[in-house]
Amino acid sequence: MEATFPILLIDDDPNLGDILSRIAQDAFPEASFIHFCSIEETMDYLKGPSVVLPKLILLDINFNREEDGFGYLTLLKKQLNDVQIPIIILSMMADDQYVEQAYSTGAVSFVEKSSTVQGWTNLLKSLRKYWNDIVDLPSDRLDGSDSGSMFKALT
């Protein structure tokens, strides 16, 4: 099956993208992961001339830097402007303060990271069921030629 559901993963763990891509082969075969370990790499990608917009963004909140994922969430929302891409926050712990801050900053969901392959498999199956099978997401056209598209060119 051809991967037709691009997911942008922003997480400083260089192995997580590979792990999720391997698990997705069975759990979410329509998914392809675009993985960046920093917000700088992500912003460069989003500003690129031939950007493939994701249908979903998974954003870690714990980075080994001063800035955290909440600051990145704000930057992403600003960069994407009117582009409607759901952003899901990932964290190792579901602290109430983190959860509240995630939603108030614009995330559509807060998910606690798994420490097992089975947990990641379950997460990808759930993402597939909800984001690919149940809900309707905006078109991924950048040129505006799709009359139902909510996407606009990134400037």
State mean pLDDT over 85-111: 91
Residue whose token pair is 């698990």: 23
Taking alpha carbons only, the member of 61, 110, 106, 113 closest to residue 85 is 106
The Cα–Cα gap between 27 and 121 comes to 6
The Cα–Cα gap between 115 and 76 comes to 26
The Cα–Cα gap between 62 and 114 comes to 14
Longest dimension (CA), the chain: 43
Q: What are the phi and psi torsion angles at 90 (to 5°)? A: -110, 140
Q: What pTM, to 2 d.p., does this model score?
A: 0.84
Amino acid identity of residue 79, one-letter, is Q
% the chain with pLDDT above 70: 83
The Cα–Cα gap between 155 and 152 comes to 9
CB 120 within 8 A of CB 91: no
Taking alpha carbons only, the member of 56, 48, 53 closest to residue 24 is 56
pLDDT band at 103 (very low <50, low <70, confident <90, very high): very high
Query: Tokens at residue 69, please?
Result: 């994922």
CB 38 within 8 A of CB 62: no
% the chain with pLDDT above 90: 48
State mean pLDDT over 85-106: 90
Q: Is pLDDT of 2 > 70?
A: no
